[in-house]
């Protein structure tokens, strides 16, 4: 098994910038991509920010990242962004991605990550995320989400689903389907179990504090 190979998310370029006095910029990183098979399990460890996981055609996983900088020096923000690194490890049936280098203290400068992960729809996906908002759309494989604080919203096709389990420590848990809306129950935390059958994908959402929503089409 190969060791983890750190790959810098480099080649940052300022796409937009506000006039002086209203310092604001969007830094675009170089996209990374990997060839996979439908049996690959894709795992992403994402620290803080907004993350979108989208079903893609073909046989390639692609990760794109923007850094939004507000209320501070563009140069300082770019220096911090240049420290971000994407570690990856790929072996047979498994692709692991981990975003490292997020600044522990941003000094109120509005250092915000906005990531997009494109994955072939048949692949299984694991997301481990600290704080932020997560959206997943169109996946047909197994999905396992662990979000510390924030909001997770997942759109799924009913025909693909075997079971859905949603657990929220503090907050709300819901499954909306053509059959109606099911809300989480429980004294310590909220839990929803929903099993339409027919499909093969197993969906698991675990949110510590916040909201978890599964929307079935």
Mean pLDDT, range 28-49, rounded to an integer: 92
What is residue 105's predicted lDDT score, i.e. its pLDDT? 61
Point out the domain boundary residue: 93, 123, 153.
123
Q: What is the pLDDT of residue 164?
A: 94
Dist CA 112 CA 84 (whole Å):
12
153 with 198, same domain: the answer is yes
Q: What is the pLDDT of residue 18?
A: 43
Which of 71, 94, 123 is where one domain is finished? Answer: 123
Return the number of other C-beta atoms located less than 10 Å from residue 82's C-beta: 17
Give dist(CA 61, CA 194) in Å, integer: 29
Residue 33 lies in a domain: yes
pTM of the full predicted structure?
A: 0.85
Residue 14 falls inside a structural domain: no
pLDDT value, residue 106: 53
Listed residues 123, 158, 190: the one ending a domain: 123
Domain that residue 92 falls in:
23-123
Q: Given pLDDT bands bounded at 50, 70 and 90, which one contains residue 72?
A: low
The band of 5, judged by pLDDT with boundaries at 50, 70 and 90, is very low
- What's the pLDDT at 171? 93
Question: Within this chain, do residues 111 and 146 fall inside the same structural domain, yes or no?
Answer: no
Within a domain: residue 75?
yes
Residues 98 and 154 in one domain: no
**Of 21-25, 27-31, 74-78, 150-154, which one has max mean pLDDT?**
150-154
pLDDT (tens digit, 9 = 90+) per residue, 124-179? Answer: 999 999 999 999 999 999 999 999 999 999 999 999 999 999 999 999 999 998 88
Q: What is the DSSP string of the chain?
A: -PPPEEEE----EEEEEPPTTS-EEEEEPPPEEEE--TTPEEEEEEEEEEEEEEEESSSEEEEEEEEEEESS-HHHHHHHHTT-EEEEEEETTEEEEEEE---S--TTS--EEEEEEEEETTSEEEEEEEEEEEEEES--S-EEEEEEEEEEEEEE-GGGEEEEEEEEEEEEEEEEETTEEEE-B-SSSEEEEE---SS-EEEEEEEEEEEEEEEE-
Domain assignment present for 16:
no
CA distances from 103 to 70, 121, 126, 142 (A): 15, 32, 24, 32
For residues 79-92, give the mean pLDDT.
85
Supply angle C-alpha 205, 136, 132, rounded to 5.
70
Are 114 and 197 in the same domain? no
Please tell me the predicted confidence (pLDDT) of residue 1. 34
Take residue 42 and report the two structure tokens written for it: 């894709």
Q: For residue 15, tell me if it sits in a domain.
A: no
For residues 109 and 161, state if they share a domain: no
Q: Which is it for strands 94-100 and 41-56: parallel, antiparallel or unpaired? A: parallel
Q: What is the pLDDT of residue 14?
A: 41
Confidence bin at 182 (pLDDT 50/70/90): confident
**pLDDT level of residue 59 (50, 70, 90 thresholds):** very high
Domain total of the chain = 2
* Phi, psi of 160, deg, nearest 5: -90, -15
pLDDT > 50? residue 11: no
196's tokens: 């339409």
Q: Is 95 a domain residue?
A: yes
């Amino acid at each position: 098994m190969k060791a983890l190979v750190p790959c810098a998310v480099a080649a940052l370029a300022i796409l937009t910038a506000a006039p002086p006095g209203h310092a604001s910029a969007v830094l675009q990183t170089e996209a990374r991509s990997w060839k996979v098979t439908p049996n690959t399990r894709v795992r992403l460890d994402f620290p803080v920010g907004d993350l979108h996981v989208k079903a893609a055609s073909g046989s390639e996983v692609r990760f794109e990242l923007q850094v939004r900088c507000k209320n501070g020096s563009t140069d300082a923000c770019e220096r911090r962004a240049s420290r971000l690194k994407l570690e990856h490890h790929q072996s047979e049936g498994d692709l692991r991605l981990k975003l490292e280098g997020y600044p522990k203290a941003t000094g109120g400068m509005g250092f915000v990550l906005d990531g997009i992960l494109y994955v072939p729809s048949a692949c299984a996906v694991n997301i481990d995320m600290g704080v932020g908002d997560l959206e997943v759309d169109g996946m047909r494989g197994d999905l396992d989400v662990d979000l510390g604080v924030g909001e997770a919203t997942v759109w799924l096709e009913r025909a693909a689903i075997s079971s859905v389990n949603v657990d929220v420590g503090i907050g709300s848990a819901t499954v909306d389907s053509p059959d109606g809306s099911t809300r989480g129950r429980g004294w310590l935390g909220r839990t929803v179990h929903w099993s339409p059958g027919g499909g093969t994908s197993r969906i698991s959402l675990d949110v510590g504090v916040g909201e978890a929503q599964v929307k079935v089409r």
